[in-house]
Amino acid sequence: QVQLVESGGGLVQPGGSLRLSCAASGISFSMYTMGWYRQAPGKQRELVATISSGGDTNYASSVKGRSTISRDNAKNTMYLQMDSLKPEDTAVYYCYARSDLHAYWGQGTQVTVSS
């Protein structure tokens, strides 16, 4: 069975940092485009960042310059390093995996940025 398990979320103060992880199993990880989405209360789910199987990255304008997406194919794990966090970053963050044929979602990890 396919599993995407997020971790690393929590409560941080504005200006703080957090590193999210997504551990994948049941897929050929290196062949998948991976990404992070987030959903804030009362808002639609939005793309945060993606990383292709070849390592090409894309970021939402709201996080560009403050976030770094990466992957370790040997560990079947994707990461999102978030710095200079803002209250607007508060959301449930979801791991996403996509191949040409399939797409999967994790269950999410809560990130709360508050003083």
Averaged over 66-80, what is the pLDDT?
98
Averaged over 40-65, what is the pLDDT?
97
Q: State residue 84's pLDDT score.
A: 98
Residue 59, strand partner residues: 49
CA angle 59, 62, 66 (to 5 degrees): 70
Averaged over 14-29, what is the pLDDT?
98
Q: What is the 3-state secondary structure (H, E, C) of 91-107?
A: EEEEEEEECCCCEEECC
pLDDT in tens, 31-41: 999 999 999 99
Cβ distance 84 to 113 under 8 Å? no
Q: State residue 51's pLDDT score.
A: 98
Cβ distance 96 to 34 under 8 Å? yes
> Which has the closest alpha carbon to 88: 41, 47, 49?
41
Averaged over 21-38, what is the pLDDT?
98
